[in-house]
Chain A
Amino acid sequence: MNAFVAKDELPQSVPATNSDVLLRVDNVSLAFGGVKAITDISFDILKGEIRAIIGPNGAGKTSMLNVINGFYHPQEGTITWRGSVRSKMRPYEAASQGIARTFQNVALFKGMTTLDNIMSGRSLKMHRNFFWQLLWRGPAEREEIEHRRKVEDIIDFLEIQAIRKTPVGRLPYGLQKRVELGRALAMEPELLLLDEPMAGMNLEEKEDMSRFILDVNQEFGTTIALIEHDMGVVMDLSDRVVVLDYGRKIADGSPEDVQKSQAVIDAYLGVSH
């Protein structure tokens, strides 16, 4: 009867103890033919933090994200996920292990409604097989209702009730980004990778999105790694920042430290290499 989700129904927030390393990247290098996208990069992501990955265009940020979620396989180096070294992994395996992501350019099913798009994020959590789904009545139906409830929680969370039944292709860009975040959240991920969540947004949309990212982090305890160009946003949101330039790591630390780093200033203002 409550007008909102009771606290205990939400996924429990995990207290972030600093010793908890969720994901560690060790000496990773990635090359496409002769082009070195990433060279010998190491950093870690702690449980419960918001970790920003920044750098000028072409610095290898998106490649790094693609390595983390298993889309690219690095030629060198290791990735340690929840304490165990990860072997070659395909994106859907990463997804089923609790890594979800959004994309720089929105990658939704344009013809489907907001609701269906977010529901699709639950597909890995559906347990009834094709034949049960075909039979529909009974367990499959109950499961669907349960998933729908979770999706409605997310719709409520992101305040997108008004576009529940709207095909996403008809939505403005800012809202599509929000739907994409919703779909990633539907997977109840442990690590959420956000590739430029604010790209192309106006100030008000950016503020809304920042609020949602903070709320996701606080309410669900989701660890977040985000790539972003808006420095104000990065400095306000993130706990720690790693800076890449030309595929190399040039700085790593708190937003204040990173801001002061000469290497970072050079990278952004441009010095000859």
Chain B
Amino acid sequence: MTGMADTASSGGDTFPKILLHNAKVFEDRTAVREKDLGIWQSWTWSEALDEIRVFSLGLKELGLKPHDKVAIVGANRPRLYWSMVAAQAIGAVPVPVYADSVAEEMAYVLGHAEVRFAIVEDQEQVDKLLSMDEAVPTLERVIYDEPRGLRDYDHTKLHGFTDVQDIGRGLLASDPGLSSAWEAGFSEANGSDLAVMLYTSGTTGRPKGVMLSFDNLIISARNANAFDGLNETEEVLAYLPMAWIGDHVFSLAQAFTAGYCVNCPENLDTVDVDRLEIAPTYFFAPPRVFEMLLTRIMVRMEDAGRIKRKMFDYFMGVARRAGEKILNGEQVPLSDKILYTIGEFLVYAPLKNRMGLTRLKVGYTAGEAIGPEIFQFFRSLGLNLKQLYGQTEASVYITLQPDGEIFGDTVGKPAPSVELKIADTGEVLYRSPGVFVGYYKNDEATRSTKTEEGWVHTGDAGIIAENGHLKIIDRAKDVGKLTDGALFAPKYIENKLKFFPNIKEAVAFGHERDRVCVFINIDLTAVGSWAERNNVNYASYQELAAHPDVYRMIESHVDQVNRDLSKEPMMAGSQIHRFLILHKELDADDGELTRTQKVRRSFIAERYGPLIEALYDGSTSKHIRTEVTFEDGRTGAIEAVVEIRDLAPHAATGKIQEAAE
């Protein structure tokens, strides 16, 4: 036991050891909160230890063994986070799974991982798992958190979370030495042991199980904490999928290593209100969350009174002029400084309060490119929003924007202890302590991704700018050429389109074709609000998407993108010639997006083949019938006639303008 205390005092190299350490050092500090029945319930670090200990003992009693895989399925709940550490304490490996994936997708992952135990949120997940008997023959026990609706189920392989804890509690009561035996059980484990397996969302092909060791996660987490000066006083909101590496690192690895508090929202729809109440100090969100926040503010300002609107416009002007400079610590005129202070009082502080970002110390966004004006909006309010670039295979961190070195078009400098290089093909490679152990049962994929020297292929094409910052252009394999030889970077074009609030998603085509054409998804919130103000009636997404006025509006956006592209010598050749607005929203349930909401290009190309054909054969409209899948796996169909519009490209003006300037 004395040896135990030594490792604990240095923090420890596995999560169970860090847990013991935190329970000792941060004892009565709040470790976890969850909103339940409208009230925030909290657990201190020592209470969390108690909960985890009895659950872990219960798991062991039910037969969980070292190296067993344990599926974790559900929304962010304290008990599910505890389950991961409880399993690790026995030497088992948690495998968090995307809770909203349909049964077939989930069955593949669970079968591939050969899980023996599954710890799930509620009846919905229990039903899903029980239907997978054949696909997952190894699955022996299912443990659920929320008992509702499960009362009459056969409980031979099904257990309630509290029932398992009761087993552990009973054992502990009858044998006082059990607690130290439990601690001794994981004192042998070390940082090189397997900590967790996370399945990548599978932009291409079947998901792969990324094996990460404790060292991968803990060293990366400690580096990140040091980089932004995070400590035990931080508050984060755990609302992103638990199966995603980001959440695993922000809500578990960094929370454990820094000792900060993780807040679980009441449910996924209440995140906005919950964020308001918690006011996180460290906040990660994909760009679409920031987009949505901004859209919502703008929509509400449209409805605000004249004085308020005037005041908002005026002070946002001040913020645009001076806000970012003040945040970066640069010089601004005294008058701007004074105006900014008044603005803080009248506009910025109330705005930040509405968004629940009042206490924000540092915020990150990643995953997709964020619109420069969106990014600037938040920074000009004095919010330290930054971009990072990461991957599951890297335990998140590859590059980070350091404070004061924020450039909209780059993703920052290499994170601490990360080495970066660009291959001849333009692909970005990195080497770091966070580099994954390998893909589970897939040595071939491991070899093709990770070189013998430990360099990992990101699959992204990028360049390192003169200031040492990395700039990502596109997925390496997606960058193509038009038939006339012009460079075609679809994501670059799509992102430009998506920066318009009215456009939610775009898919560009052009590789080995004579011109660029795009599919567009409108944003129902933004366009819906526009429709309301302009007395446009519609009954469904489909109807709104086909409205002539909507088409006219989108056409002007596409034209604007073309104008921007025409100014860039490299991109002028890939201006958009034709576009259409899709009759349905792209949806992960239909396999069109990944679970992290990224476009699955090849799948879409196949599914909407007739539409692509129509884009290139010159027809002005096309009838299409699409199968759709509902959440429960049932299918239906949507039919529509989709209109196609032509645009005249702008003359390439890049060079000329440069000369004029």
Contact = CB atoms under 8 A, between A and B. Distances in A.
Whether A associates with B in a native complex is yes
A111 B36 CA distance: 26
Nearest to B38: A152
Contact of B149 (A153, A156, A218): A218
B306 interface: no
B424 interface: no
B149 A159 contact: no
Interface in B530-561: none
A29 to B, nearest CB: 40
B269 A162 contact: yes
B38 A161 contact: yes
B37 A153 contact: yes
Given A4-B36, A203-B634, A157 B145 contact: no
Interface in B206-259: none
A161 B632 contact: no
Contacts of A7: 147, 151
B37 A219 contact: no
A179 interface: no
B588 to A, nearest CB: 15
B152 A3 contact: no
B509 to A, nearest CB: 31
Contacts of B79: 3
A215 B148 contact: yes
A215 B267 contact: no
B69 interface: no
Contacts of B266: 161-162
Contacts of A164: 38
A180 B591 CA distance: 35
B270 A162 contact: yes
A47 to B, nearest CB: 17
B36 A3 contact: yes
B36 A218 contact: no
A11 to B, nearest CB: 13
Nearest to A157: B148
A218 B631 contact: no
Contacts of B36: 3-4, 156
A162 B267 CA distance: 8
Contacts of B636: 203
Contacts of B469: none
A149 B273 CA distance: 20
A256 interface: no
A53 interface: no
A22 interface: no
B36 to A, nearest CB: 5
Given A203-B636, A219-B148, 19 more contacts: A3-B77, A3-B145, A4-B36, A4-B146, A4-B148, A7-B151, A152-B37, A155-B37, A159-B267, A161-B38, A161-B270, A162-B269, A164-B38, A204-B631, A211-B149, A215-B148, A218-B149, A218-B151, A219-B149
Interface of B: 34, 36-39, 41, 43, 77-79, 145-149, 151-152, 162, 266-267, 269-270, 273, 630-632, 634, 636
22 contacts: A1-B43, A3-B34, A3-B36, A3-B41, A3-B79, A4-B36, A4-B146, A4-B147, A4-B148, A5-B37, A7-B151, A13-B151, A153-B37, A155-B37, A156-B36, A157-B148, A161-B267, A162-B270, A162-B273, A203-B636, A211-B149, A218-B149
